[in-house]
Structure formats: C-alpha cells, structure tokens
C-alpha cells in the first residue's frame, strides 16, 4: 500500500507509525520501508527520538455504513430466490467474532469463504458451503446461477471472472461491502454498494434482517446436492492404492484434525486436492498462498503460524516442487523449536505444469523430478523425517510425526494425478484457441 525511504534516523519511529497506520487502514496490506545502511549506522541521542506506542497510531474505530443502504440490501435479499454470500480477503480481518454466523443464522442464507475469511464461519455450519474456488468446490461453481451475489470484502477480480457473465449471471444483482470505496463496482455495477468495516456492516444488516421473515430456500438443496457430489467425487479418488492418490492422504489426515489445528497450504496440485477436502473450522487457522500461487511460502508461513499459535498444532501441506524453494528453513524450525508438521506429496514432478503440458501438447517438458528423499534432508537438519510409500503405513506415520516433539516432515509418495484446477486450465486454453 505504500513504500517509503527514511533519510533521518530520528524519524524511524515516525515512519514505522505511518506505515502501520497505513497497513491497518481500510483494506489491509503491506507497506515497505527502506532504511539505507548509512542511516542504520548513524548514532543519535535517544532523547532526540519521539517514541509512540502502537495504541496511539493504529486505527481502532469500526466504520459503519448508511442505514438506508442497509435497508435496500436486506430488502433485495429478502426477495431473492438464489442468493449467495462470498466472504473474501478483506472480510477476514474483522470477522474473527461471530458477526457472519449471526447474520447467516438470522437470514438462512448460504455462504462461501476464502483466503483470510476461511473459518470465520465453520465449514461444519449447515449454511456454510466451504471454500470459494469454482474448480475445487462444486458448490462454489453454483455462483453462476445466483440471482443476488453478496461480496463481503471480496474483490471483483479475475478469480470470479470480474463478476461478468457467464461467471455471474447477467441478470444477477450484486451487493458489495468493502472497506475501500475503490473496490465498489470496480468491474461491474452494483445494486447496493456499502463502504465500511465488514463485520460492523454485517451487524447493521443483522439488526435490519430481524424485521423480516426468513425461511430455507429450495436453492439450498441445490447447493447441498453439489456438496454431496463433491464428497462422492473425493471418496472415489481416495481409495487405497499404491502409489497413493493425494486425496487418500488428505482423507487419512482429516479425522485426525483438531479444531485448534492450523492448516497451511502451499501451491500446486497436491495442495489443491487438500483444499478441496480439508475444512476450515476456526478463524485464521486455514492459510493459503492466494490465487497468485507463491510456491514455497508454506514453510515460512507455518513457522509464523506456530509463533502466533504456540499451543496449536501447525500442519503444513506442500508438494515436492514447492518444498524446494524454502526447504532449508527447517533449520530455522529446529533451532527455534517451532514444531510444525509438514506433509509433502511427492509425485516426482512439477505436477500441475506437467499435467497442463500433457493436456495441451501431449508431452511433458522439463517437469519431471526425482522421487527425492526430502525426509532425509529434514533428518540431517535435526528434525523428524519419514518416507511413506504404502497406504497402510500412512496413519501410523502421521501419528509418529505429531508425537515427534520436534519439526517433522512426512515424505509421502503419491501418484501423478490431474486436479480439477489443472483440468480447468487446460479447458480454458483450448477454448481460447478455438475462438
């Protein structure tokens, strides 16, 4: 959100306060500060420095919206036949309480969550339909059939086709709530646009919704049918076989999860399968690299998560390609006793790239890897490592990793299986080539 260079050592606290204020205002985001080496080495009398405590410069006020806009939004939703709520990145920073759940239980409307908002309502909730990624969640693909789409801190970006047909129906009405006025109607006009803190605006909407009568809509049955079809698809692929399918690994892990566990997903096909199956149960406990797909980010993110949640298990999911980017940070984990557990799906390939190459060109190019012993790398750094090839050995290996008492990695041999995300990428490119 901003980038500044500091030219006076006495102004470092001032710029830190400025950066933090900017980062935490409106749509939260990163701010970069450059401190040149000569400024870093410059001496100064501490009495010349003005230090400001965080509470004095961080914004704390909750921004409400116009009550008339709230009434318009609720009136529109009360008449909708196929409404769908999408809670996005900006919503996640304020939805740590139960604001979303209160609204959903008042209105009986279905919701999907993504990125920072994952877990702001548990995936186990009857009106929650999981992760919003159309290629990985069949319920999410139903957004194209919705007649009212509510964007809760969610951008009108490329991951939803800029909210244009056929991704969102031409006749659909859009209600958008966002902390930044720049995001309202950015790529498609909205029926109601509200600028404000997402949780605070939802509280306003919940109070207004209490003046209406809400019933379960037949639309919910369509979403539940899509969710059931998704579960059946996963079950069919997750059968025991050698090499294991990625979904077998995630299916084995799923019943072992605890509500306080923090899941950290890297990019790549092994993790795409995991995101399609593993639930978000609590806020800030289901972390993904975002649609930009920053490979290798899962290990640094997992270490940060362990620092944030020292009493929780942090479980990192990665592929073999992604792991190579920051593998040596296991040394950091060992030195600082950050006992994360990594599950590495090893298909000896740059999996999604290889599948796309096969789908488009019929042959792979420079995407084959070795079935390397990454577990031995972790052992050499002082962590716990184990190689798992047989499906019958996986559950016990997971238990050993959780009980290891030190950073652990399971190197699991998995088959080269194409994910729905890779299939979608192939389909898009073939369709574009035919135009």
pTM of the model: 0.91
User: Which residues have CB under 8 Å from 175's CB, separation 6+?
Assistant: 73, 76, 77, 148, 149, 150, 151, 190, 191, 192, 193, 194
* CA atoms of 169 and 416, how far apart (whole Å): 36
pLDDT of residue 63: 86
Instruction: Tell me the mean pLDDT in the region 118-130.
Output: 96
pLDDT at residue 157 is higher than 80:
yes
Mean pLDDT (the chain) is: 95
pLDDT grade, residue 293 (50/70/90)? Answer: low
List residues bridging with 112 in a β-sheet.
86
pLDDT in tens, 164-174: 999 999 999 99
- Asked whether 150 and 83 are in contact (CB, 8 A), the reply is yes
pLDDT of residue 434: 87
- Best CA proximity match to 162, nearest among 184, 188, 141: 188
Half-sphere exposure of 51 (CA within 13 A, CB side): 4
Helix axes 219-237, 269-277, angle to 10 degrees: 130
User: Which residues have CB under 8 Å from 29's CB, separation 6+?
Assistant: 1, 23
| CB-count exposure of residue 106 (10 Å: 0-12, 13-18, 19+) | middle
- Best CA proximity match to 290, nearest among 305, 275, 307: 275
- Asked whether 193 and 68 are in contact (CB, 8 A), the reply is no
pLDDT in tens, 304-325: 999 999 999 999 999 999 999 9
pLDDT at residue 59 is higher than 90:
no
- Asked whether 374 and 329 are in contact (CB, 8 A), the reply is no
pLDDT of residue 17: 93
Residue 76: C-alpha distances to residues 108, 175, 181, 420 (Å): 14, 9, 21, 34
pLDDT of residue 182: 94
* CA atoms of 205 and 190, how far apart (whole Å): 17
Instruction: Tell me the mean pLDDT in the region 6-32.
Output: 92
3-state secondary structure of 86: strand
pLDDT at residue 371 is higher than 80:
yes
pLDDT of residue 3: 97
- Best CA proximity match to 31, nearest among 62, 6, 66: 6
pLDDT of residue 57: 79
* CA atoms of 414 and 433, how far apart (whole Å): 32
| pLDDT-above-90 percentage for the chain | 87
pLDDT grade, residue 416 (50/70/90)? Answer: very high
User: Which residues have CB under 8 Å from 217's CB, separation 6+?
Assistant: 81, 82, 83, 108
Helix axes 351-361, 269-277, angle to 10 degrees: 100
Strands (E), 266-407: 286-288, 314-319, 341-346, 384-388
Rounded to whole angstroms, the maximal C-alpha distance in the chain is 70
pLDDT of residue 297: 94
For residue 244, the 8-state DSSP code is B
pLDDT grade, residue 93 (50/70/90)? Answer: confident
**H-helix or E-strand containing 22?**
helix 12-24
Lowest mean pLDDT among 246-255, 283-292, 328-337, 399-408: 283-292
pLDDT of residue 52: 83
pLDDT grade, residue 53 (50/70/90)? Answer: confident
Instruction: Tell me the mean pLDDT in the region 267-278.
Output: 93
Strands (E), 162-203: 173-178, 192-195
pLDDT in tens, 181-210: 999 999 999 999 999 999 999 999 999 999
pLDDT of residue 378: 98
**H-helix or E-strand containing 416?**
none
Instruction: Tell me the mean pLDDT in the region 380-394.
Output: 98
pLDDT at residue 61 is higher than 90:
no
- Asked whether 231 and 247 are in contact (CB, 8 A), the reply is no
Question: Distance of alpha carbon 121 from its chain centroid, rounded?
Answer: 14
What are the structural domains, with CATH classification, of the chain? 2-56 (no CATH), 67-217 (3.40.50.1220), 238-424 (3.40.50.970)
pLDDT at residue 386 is higher than 70:
yes
| CB-count exposure of residue 55 (10 Å: 0-12, 13-18, 19+) | exposed
**Residue corresponding to tokens 């194409």:** 418
Helix axes 198-209, 99-107, angle to 10 degrees: 30
């Amino acid at each position: 959100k901003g980038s500044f260079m500091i030219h006076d050592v006495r102004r470092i606290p001032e710029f830190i306060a400025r950066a933090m204020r900017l980062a935490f205002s409106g749509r939260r985001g990163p701010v970069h500060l450059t401190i040149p080496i000569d400024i870093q080495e410059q001496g100064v009398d501490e009495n010349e420095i003005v230090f400001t405590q965080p509470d004095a410069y961080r914004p704390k006020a909750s921004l409400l919206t116009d009550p008339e806009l709230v009434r318009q939004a609720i009136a529109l939703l009360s008449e909708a036949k196929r409404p769908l709520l999408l809670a996005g990145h900006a919503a996640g920073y304020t939805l740590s309480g139960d604001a979303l759940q209160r609204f959903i239980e008042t209105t009986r409307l279905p919701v999907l969550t993504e990125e920072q908002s994952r877990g702001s309502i548990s995936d186990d909730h009857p009106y929650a339909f999981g992760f919003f990624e159309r290629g990985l969640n069949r319920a999410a693909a139903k957004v194209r059939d919705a007649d009212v789409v509510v964007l809760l801190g969610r951008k009108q970006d490329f991951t939803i086709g800029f909210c244009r047909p056929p991704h969102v129906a031409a006749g659909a009405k859009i209600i958008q709530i966002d902390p930044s006025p720049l995001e309202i109607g950015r790529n498609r006009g909205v029926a109601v646009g509200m600028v404000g803190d997402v949780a605070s605006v939802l509280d306003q909407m919940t109070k207004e919704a209490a003046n209406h009568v809400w019933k379960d809509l037949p639309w919910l049955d369509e979403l539940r049918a899509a969710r059931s079809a998704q579960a059946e698809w996963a079950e069919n692929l997750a059968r025991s076989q050698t090499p294991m399918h990625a979904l077998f690994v995630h299916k084995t892990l799923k019943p072992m999860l605890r509500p306080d566990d923090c899941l950290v997903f890297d990019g790549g096909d092994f993790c795409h399968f995991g995101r399609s199956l593993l639930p978000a149960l609590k806020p800030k406990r289901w972390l993904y690299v975002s649609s930009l797909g920053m490979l290798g980010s899962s290990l640094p993110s997992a270490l940060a998560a362990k620092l944030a949640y020292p009493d929780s298990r942090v479980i990192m999911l990665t592929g073999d390609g992604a792991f190579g980017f920051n593998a040596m940070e296991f040394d950091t984990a060992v030195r600082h006793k950050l006992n994360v557990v990594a599950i590495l799906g090893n298909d000896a390939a740059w999996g999604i790239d290889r599948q796309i190459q096969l789908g488009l060109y019929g042959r792979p190019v420079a995407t084959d890897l070795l079935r390397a012993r990454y577990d031995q790398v972790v052992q050499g750094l002082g962590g716990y490592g184990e190689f798992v090839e047989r499906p019958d050995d996986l559950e016990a290996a997971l238990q050993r990793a959780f009980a290891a008492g030190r950073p652990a990695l399971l190197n699991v041999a998995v088959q080269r299986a194409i994910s729905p995300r890779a299939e979608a990428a192939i389909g898009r490119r073939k369709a574009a080539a035919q135009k």
